[in-house]
Amino acid sequence: LFAGPVTFVKGVVAMSGLPPADRLEVCFAGRSNVGKSSLINALTGRKTLARASNTPGRTQEINYFALGETRYMTDLPGYGYAEAPVAVVKKWQELLKSYLAGRQTLRRAFVLIDARHGIKAVDEDILNLLDRSAVTFQTVLTKVDKINRAERDAVIAQVKGALTKHPAAYPEIVVTSSEKGEGLETLRAIIATLE
């Protein structure tokens, strides 16, 4: 699927723990439950890859995966989880800010949006942060198998409208279903061809 094996590298809790910035990197961000782990597993063809590193208590980590020798893919903790303690959220936001602003090799952020809900206020916060950090982001609609054609057209229109306010937005929206496999090849090709 990618050039070389996909492996879990480490979970990072502070900027000092980042692996050497020696290759291109993409990150996956999105609300809790949006389908990040499922998408990473589906993309890599490894059913338990993301879940294996997503044990309770490690949820505030940036999880690093190596795609062969030439790329890193990172899984950022889900945001918008109402039950998370304030102190935990604060610490995570600080790490996220430092990571997005300071990771020189981060080439693109994929922001996952549940196709049933579209872009919400909680998503706007991270889109604004990506604008300020000048990190190009691309929206990925998830769970599209759960909606019909008319709903799909409506959510794409909503997201397109929201993106016009964001200078860091890459205009193409990727529509995916980890369940049905839709959009996975498109997303793999995007990751593989980034330079």
Residues that bind Mg ion (CB under 5 A): 36-37, 54
Task: For residue 139, state whether it binds ligand GTP (rule: CB under 6 A).
Answer: no
User: Using CB under 6 A, which of 44, 71, 72, 78 touches ligand GTP?
Assistant: 78
Task: For residue 143, state whether it binds ligand GTP (rule: CB under 6 A).
Answer: yes
Segment contacting ligand GTP (CB under 6 A): 66-74, 86-94, 140-148, 160-168? 140-148
Segment contacting ligand GTP (CB under 6 A): 32-40, 133-141, 155-163, 186-194? 32-40
> 139 - beta bridge partners?
111
Q: Which is nearer to Mg ion, 28 or 72 (CB)?
A: 28
Site for ligand GTP in 172-191 (CB under 6 A): 177-179
Are the beta carbons of 158 and 119 closer than 8 angstroms? yes
Are the beta carbons of 113 and 95 closer than 8 angstroms? no
b (16+ CB within 10 A) / e for 18-47: beeeeebbbbbbbbeebbbbbbbbbbbebe
Task: For residue 44, state whether it binds ligand GTP (rule: CB under 6 A).
Answer: no
Sign of the Cα pseudo-torsion (28, 39, 120, 57, in order): negative
